[in-house]
Amino acid sequence: MRLKYVLNEVLVGLWRNVTMTVAMIITMAVSLTMLGASVLLYLQVDQMKNYYYGEIEVSIFLRSDVTDAQRQAIDQAISSDPLVSNKTYETREEAFNRFKELWQDSPDFVKSIGPNSLPESFRVKLKDPEKYKAFADKIQGMQGIQDVIDQRALLEKVFKIFNAIQVIALIVAIVMALAALLLVGNTIQVAAYSKRREVAVMKLVGASNWFIQSPFVLEAVVAGLIGAILGFVALFGFKIIVFDQRLQALTNILTPIHNSNVWLMLPLLAAVGAAVSAVTAWVTLRFYLKV
Amino acid sequence: MIQLENVTKTYPKASRPSLDNVSVGIEKGEFVFFIGPSGSGKSTMIKLLLHEVQPTSGKVVVNAKDVTTLRSWKIPHFRRSIGCVFQDFRLLPNRTAYENVAFALEVIGKTQAVARRVVPEVLELVGLGGKEHRYPHELSGGEQQRVAVARAFVNRPLILLADEPTGNLDPDTSIEIMRLLDRINRTGTTVVMVTHDSNIVNQMRRRVIEIESGRIVRDQARGVYG
């Protein structure tokens, strides 16, 4: 009976003030979408780091006028270096073939580059990619080397951009969450005001605080949960439309976003949405009803 | 049953205390009138007993419980032993007489089965048999107050507080309400009533405590309005 009473109060409460309820749900949904996006991005960057850092190489490009003796000395220096885990050598022809393959869709571009315009190189994998500096310092000064390039530095620039996007999403999520908080507080106040007679009588006859507050708190929690579900749907839709369809090519580079990760957002968003709503409603009632 | 010891209540920003070092004791089963002009501190007395306000100093003991040290989460349970009736009835307009009384039971966790058994009984007791399904606006003032009394009494409280229960009623209706309160008093319930109604006080001849400017100026068994 009490359950029925409470559920009925919740539905009536949400409906009585339906515009406010909708506003509350939408803000909550946007905030939670942003939170979900931010968390997904964080997971994604983490995953990409694991993936790419394993693949990272240091490229040592040789000058076009390098002599055999110089090449041999460099080869020797790399092989004997304890920091190196393995190395490959790429001739000009191999470099050009790889280049042709990579740009096979743009034959004009390939034609403009002759087979001799690409440098030969050593590709070195370090045991610990963090030790790049120590390795580069040793090798840099040798004769016949044009350039030593660490892929890690390039990747880090990319990751910095991702991190910035993630932080922005998080900030938007927090700002929207603040708006959602105020709306929840306001909605609960209006609900409590419209039921002030009932509340006064309840206090008078000694209804427990739990009993007086739970319909209001549940009202906010239900709205928070609806917001969370909407946010999750938005996140999933965005993932399917943007990453799986429009930007599919990009996802191949970025490592794919797993659906399991996106599903993980549902309980997360639901928990955050419900908890934030419940706490806000409860605090509002403590001040407003003074039970 | 009710014990006030050196109770002083000063509201914030008030120049003088509403109750000034008041001590009074009320035994179980007594019927007590608090009289005095407006602003004398009568209503503060009721609020103190209900734990709606806290005394500035002194001790309030109700039902052998020291209200001043009562933890806030225990207040709801404490209030279940006190029934309350007010001048403005405080009924829920969108509920029938039956539902108004049943509401008081539901919200303290009683089942509907209990309500179905107890509510008709108490409505019969207050003389509203047959009018259970009327809404407050379909009832006269006296009848509405009877619903309020039924609601206050349905939980069989040890104490009934009545804050000017006849303030909005004509003299004949007032006397009917007083008969009802008297009947409730005879079941062993302690009744504390705040009033300005001299007729009623003079007719009932019960203990009268007169308050003026926050002090007790008279405490008389079988008293009159004065």
**What is d(CA B105, CA B116) in angstroms, rounded to the nearest whole number?**
10
- Read off the pLDDT band of B136 (50, 70, 90): very high
Q: What are phi and psi of A282, to 5 degrees?
A: -65, -45
User: Full-prediction pTM beyond 0.80?
Assistant: no
Please give the pLDDT value at position A250: 63
Please give the pLDDT value at position A239: 85
B78 close contact with A: CB closer than 8 A: yes
Note whether B84 contacts A204, CB cutoff 8 Å.
Answer: yes
CB A223 within 8 A of CB A280: no
The alpha-helical segments, DSSP class H, found in chain A are 2-16, 18-55, 68-80, 92-102, 107-112, 132-140, 151-194, 196-205, 209-238, 248-254, 259-288
Name the packing angle between helices A151-194 and A18-55 (round to 10°).
Answer: 160
Report the DSSP pairing between strands A121-126 and A145-150.
unpaired
Note whether A201 contacts B77, CB cutoff 8 Å.
Answer: no
Note whether B107 contacts A207, CB cutoff 8 Å.
Answer: yes
Which of B77, B103, B112 has the CB atom closest to A201's CB atom? B103
B111 close contact with A: CB closer than 8 A: yes
Please give the pLDDT value at position A50: 77
Q: Amino acid letter at A2?
A: R
Please give the pLDDT value at position A253: 63
Grouping H, G, I as helix, E, B as strand and the rest as coil, residue A105 is: coil
B57 close contact with A: CB closer than 8 A: no
Question: Closest chain B residue to A198 measured between Cα atoms?
Answer: B92
Place of tokens 């058994």: B117
Mean pLDDT of chain B: 92
Is pLDDT of B135 > 90?
A: yes
Please give the pLDDT value at position A252: 60
Q: What angle do CA B75, B209, B155 make, to 5 degrees?
A: 35
Grouping H, G, I as helix, E, B as strand and the rest as coil, residue A239 is: helix
Best B54, B107, B149, B158 member to test A by mutation, with max A CBs in 10 Å, is B107
Place of tokens 């509340």: A199
Calculate how close chain A gets to B29, using CA atoms only, in Å. 21
Burial degree of B76 (CB within 10 A; 0-12, 13-18, 19+)? buried
A211 close contact with B: CB closer than 8 A: yes
> Which residues in chain A show pLDDT less than 70?
1-2, 248-255, 290-291
Rounded mean pLDDT, B164-178: 93
CB A176 within 8 A of CB A30: yes
Please give the pLDDT value at position A15: 84
**What is d(CA A141, CA A181) in angstroms, rounded to the nearest whole number?**
60
B221 close contact with A: CB closer than 8 A: no
